[in-house]
């Protein structure tokens, strides 16, 4: 499916705030609600628009986010699928992604800080009992904070200079209860689901849901709303790029350059990860290398190299954005 200017405008607006009503979106685009609604449904039908998610700062609810990279050995496709399904049943596993390149798989685990050591070891030991002989290498990091920007890789029209920035994983703790947490887990996966449906599932009124979501936004637990795109259907590929530094002297300047770059959409800060972690959407590998060589040239006094690996699918996508 070819995307015209209106399709791209809809995608662009939704990736800034996917929770906005169609009436608001139609007004911004100066189109009728019927036309905008039809286009959104068509993007969903063509599997270009895969969903609308909330970006949540779970650190404010007392969670650590662990990121685990895996490189397989002697692992069949059937065994990999079984592994994906097994992780999907784990309450603490929020997002999983299939990679290619330096790593084969990554998953993100959210664990309450008051019992994170025991919980993580229990999960890890259980997986190792079944898959130790299938794993050639692992790398574990605490994943926070993360700076997510609205995607601009597909635009061919003028947009505001500054992207929307959503930061999660930096706390501090807030007062919350079990209902807040249940709402987040249910709502974050699909922010366009009718509140009446959420209310029925959670056993409260839709007005209660609406008020709780509003307070979670005010407290910056819900830090923003985005969309999940089928990049290959759009003719693009996503990569994670680790920049290897010999100095941090220009990190602020590097951050601003990456933030405003059309093809980059995220900067990850982690404990135990790379010097400077980024995420990018490009047309192909040649395009990626062209961009990275330009970045290295601009910051050649501080960047000594880079590593990259692509992602092809997200078997599970919740809480942690792509």
Residue 143 half-sphere exposure toward CB, CA atoms < 13 A: 29
Q: Give the phi and the psi of residue 85 in degrees, each rounded to 5.
A: -65, -35
Q: Give Cα separations from 122 to 90, 92, 118, 125, 255 (angstroms).
A: 12, 11, 6, 5, 37
Do the Cβ atoms of 131 and 56 come closer than 8 Å?
no
Q: Which of 65, 64, 77, 144 is nearest to 104 (CA)?
A: 77
229 to 47, 153, 233, 240, 267: CA distances (angstroms) = 8, 12, 9, 16, 18
- Other C-beta atoms closer than 10 Å to the C-beta of 160 total 7
- Distance of alpha carbon 318 from alpha carbon 4, whole angstroms: 29
Closest CA to 93 of 135, 63, 71: 63
Please tell me the pTM assigned to this model: 0.91
Sequential pLDDT tens for the chain (322 residues): 689 999 999 999 999 999 999 999 999 999 999 999 999 999 999 999 999 999 999 999 999 999 999 999 999 999 999 999 999 888 889 889 999 989 999 999 999 988 889 999 999 999 999 999 999 999 999 988 999 999 999 998 887 778 999 999 987 899 999 999 999 989 998 999 999 999 999 999 999 999 999 999 999 999 999 999 999 999 999 999 999 999 999 999 999 999 999 999 999 999 999 999 999 999 999 999 999 999 999 999 999 999 999 987 777 766 665 6
């Amino acid at each position: 499916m070819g995307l015209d200017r209106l399709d791209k405008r809809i995608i662009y607006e939704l990736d800034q705030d996917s929770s906005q009503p169609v009436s608001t979106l139609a007004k911004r685009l100066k189109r009728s609600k019927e036309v905008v609604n039809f286009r959104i449904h068509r993007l969903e039908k063509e599997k270009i628009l895969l969903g609308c998610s909330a970006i949540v700062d779970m650190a404010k609810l007392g969670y650590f986010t662990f990121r685990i990279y895996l490189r397989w050995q002697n692992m069949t496709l059937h065994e990999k699928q079984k592994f994906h399904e097994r992780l999907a049943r784990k309450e603490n596993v929020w997002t999983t992604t299939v990679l290619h390149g330096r790593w084969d798989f990554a998953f993100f685990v959210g664990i309450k800080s008051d019992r994170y050591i025991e919980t993580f070891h229990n999960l890890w030991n259980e997986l190792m009992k079944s898959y130790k002989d299938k794993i050639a290498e692992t790398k574990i990091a605490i994943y926070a904070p993360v700076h997510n920007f609205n995607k601009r890789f597909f635009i061919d029209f003028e947009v505001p200079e500054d992207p929307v920035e959503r930061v999660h994983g930096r706390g501090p703790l807030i007062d919350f209860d079990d209902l807040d947490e249940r709402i987040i887990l249910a709502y974050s996966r699909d922010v366009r689901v009718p509140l009446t449906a959420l209310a029925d599932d959670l056993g409260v009124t839709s007005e209660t849901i609406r008020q709780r979501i509003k307070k979670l936004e005010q407290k910056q637990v819900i830090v923003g709303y985005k969309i999940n795109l089928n990049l290959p259907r759009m003719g693009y590929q996503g990569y994670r790029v680790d920049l290897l530094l010999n100095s941090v002297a220009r990190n602020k300047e590097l951050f601003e350059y990456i933030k405003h770059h059309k093809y980059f959409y995220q900067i990850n800060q982690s404990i135990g990860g790379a010097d400077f972690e980024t995420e990018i959407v490009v047309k192909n590998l040649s395009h990626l290398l062209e961009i990275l060589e330009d970045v290295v040239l601009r910051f050649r006094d501080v960047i000594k190299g880079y590593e990259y690996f692509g992602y092809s699918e997200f078997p599970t996508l919740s809480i942690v954005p792509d």
